């Protein structure tokens, strides 16, 4: 199973972060299947890749460390394919979504830490 993670600190209030993330994931052609105030799960829309390569994205919003100007979140991007190649589909989607978060016009990126 391929799995990639990244943590971010962005300058946006915690109240605005979740709806902005839902919109961002939808703009990345992902179907948001579930969301609460501190968790979002989205899946890649079937049709372009094999079923085993379809990516699932989980976003965890850390409400306990949020301030009036900064919010923390972590993303986990995974699928069922074995990461036998460095540039597999899951890795490509991870880089695409990571770039979308880092370049989002709705906030200023303070820190990004890939794991």
| Annotated domain spans of the chain | 2-114
CA distance 90 to 3: 7
Quick one: pLDDT band at residue 79, thresholds 50, 70, 90? Answer: very high
Task: Provide mean pLDDT across the span 16-44.
Answer: 95
Residue 86 pLDDT exceeds 80? no
90: tokens are 């899951």
The whole-number pLDDT of residue 24 equals: 96
The whole-number pLDDT of residue 70 equals: 93
Question: Phi-psi bin for 14: left (phi > 0), alpha (psi -120 to 50), beta?
Answer: alpha
Q: Name the H helices within 13-88.
A: 14-27
Task: Provide mean pLDDT across the span 8-31.
Answer: 94
3-state helix, strand, coil in the chain (%, to 5): 30, 40, 30
CA distance 62 to 50: 33
Identify the CATH class of 2-114.
Answer: alpha beta
């Amino acid at each position: 199973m391929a799995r990639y993670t990244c943590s971010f600190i962005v300058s946006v209030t915690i109240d605005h972060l979740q709806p902005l993330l839902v919109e961002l994931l939808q703009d990345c052609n992902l179907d948001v299947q579930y969301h609460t105030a501190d968790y979002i799960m989205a899946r890649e829309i079937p049709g372009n890749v094999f079923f085993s390569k379809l990516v699932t994205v989980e976003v965890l919003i850390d409400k306990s460390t949020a301030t009036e100007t900064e919010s923390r979140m972590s993303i986990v991007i995974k699928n069922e394919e074995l990461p036998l190649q460095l540039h597999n589909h899951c890795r490509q989607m991870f880089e695409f979504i990571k770039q979308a978060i880092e370049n989002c016009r709705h906030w200023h990126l303070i820190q990004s830490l890939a794991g």
